[in-house]
Structure 1
C-alpha cells in the first residue's frame, strides 16, 4: 500500500456511528472541586444518523456524508458521489468490510459498470482498513465533550473538522515535497 496504483486512487470506506444527539463525556486536565457531570435530562428525540466516510489513502484526504441510515441504498448513493470526484477512466480501488449492504447485487453491478475495484478486508479484521484510524481523531475532536442540539450542528462540526484536517494534511504534504 506504500505505492499508489498506477491506474487510479486507493480509497478506504467505512461507516461511523451511530451518531446520536446527547451529551458526550469528555476529558478535563485541570483539577476541579466538583466533577463535570452530564445532564441526565436528555431524550433521544432526534434518533440516530451515520457518517459514511471515505479516505483517499495516498492523497490523505478524508470526506463523508451524513445519512439517516446505512443500508445499501445510502451506500450506493454516496458511492456515486465519490465516483464523480475522479475521472471515469481512473479505476477506483475501494477498501471496505464485508457488511451485507456492501455486497448487494445492485452495488456490485454499479461497481463493475463504473470501474470500481472492491478490496474486501477479512472478516473480523476491520482494523486492516486504513480509515479506522481516522475515526479515532473524529471521536476526539468532534464527538468527545460535546452537547450538540441537533444533527445539523453535528454535521457542520464533522464538515469543519474534515476541512481543517484536509487543509493541514495538504500543507504538510506540500512541505514534504
Structure 2
C-alpha cells in the first residue's frame, strides 16, 4: 500500500494534478478499462476555440511580428496572445511576472489587456514586497504598459508606489528574464495539448505555476530555463 501511494504521489506530481484525481482515474480504468479515459461529451457549452479562430491563431503564430507592424522580432508566449486579443481573435489574456530574487512565477488571467488590468496586476506585484522596498517591473513596449501624453496613469502610479517601470529596448524583449520561464511553461503545460476552452487552458497554466513554484529546483525545469537563457 505504501508503495502504491508513492506511485500515486509521483504521477500527481508529473501531471500537475492531485493524488485524489489520480486515484479516481486508476479506479475508473480498473472498472471500465481504457475506454474510461476518453471524454464523454453530453452537450453543454460549445468550444470557445472555433475552427476559424484556431486557423487564425496558427496563421499568426507562424508569421513574424514585423509583418503586423509590431516593434519586436520574435514571438514570446505572451506577445501573440496580446495581439490575438487586440485583433479580436480570442477574448482572454494572461499577465505574468517572474521574481528574480525569490525565483517565483506569478500569473493572472483577464478578459482584456488594458492599462487598468495591467495596473491591477502591478498592484498585486507591489503587495508582495514591503512598501519601503523599491521594486522594478520590467516590461516590453506593448501599449498598455506605457505612460503616454494622453494617459499617464502608469507613471503616476509607479512614482506614488516606489516602483520603477523599466522597458526592454525595441526588438529586444528576449532580454527580459521571464521569456525563458515562458519556454518552460509552454513545454510543461501547453505543448501537444488541445484545450477545449480558454477556461481549461487557463486552469492548466495556473496549475503549472503552482507546481513550478513548489518545484523551482526541478532538474528538467532548470535545464529548460538554462537552455532558453543561453539561446
1:148 counterpart = 2:211: no
User: Which residue does the alignment assign to 2:144?
Assistant: 101
Residues 79-115 of structure 1: per-residue CA shift (max 9 Å, x gap): 1111111111111111111222111310110010001
TM-score (norm 1): 0.68
- 2:114 is aligned, of 71, 85, 96, to 71
Give runs of aligned pairs for residues 19-98 of structure 1, distance below 5 A.
47-98=90-141
Deviations 1:107-128 (A, max 9, x none): 1100100010122211110010
Instruction: Kindly indicate which of the two structures has a greater share of residues assigned to strand.
Output: 1
Counterpart position of 2:165: 118
Contact 2:77 2:183 in 1 (8 A): no
2-structure distance, mates of 1:15, 1:134? 10
State the Cα distance separating 1:15 from its structure 2 match.
7.5
Whether the aligned pair in 2 keeps the contact of 1:15 and 1:70 (CA below 8 Å) is no
When you count helix as a share of all residues, which structure comes out higher?
2
Do the aligned partners of 1:72 and 1:107 also contact (CA within 8 Å) in 2? yes
- Which secondary structure state, in structure 2, belongs to the residue aligned with residue 48 of structure 1? coil
Give, in whole Å, the separation in 2 of the partners of 1:113 and 1:150.
39
In structure 2, stretches of 5+ residues that fail to align are 1-75, 83-88, 220-231
Measured in 1, the distance between the counterparts of 2:193 and 2:218 equals 28
Output the TM-score relative to the length of structure 2.
0.53
> What does the per-residue CA deviation read over 1:17-38, in whole Å, with 9 as the maximum and x for residues that have no partner?
528xxxxxxxxxxxxxxxxxxx
Unaligned 5+ runs, structure 1: 1-13, 20-45, 173-177
Counterpart among 18, 27, 33 of residue 81 in structure 2 = 18
**Which has more radius of gyration?**
2
The verdict on how the C-alpha distance between 1:62 and 1:51 changes in structure 2, with shifts beyond 3 A counting, is same
Match of 1:138 in 2: 185
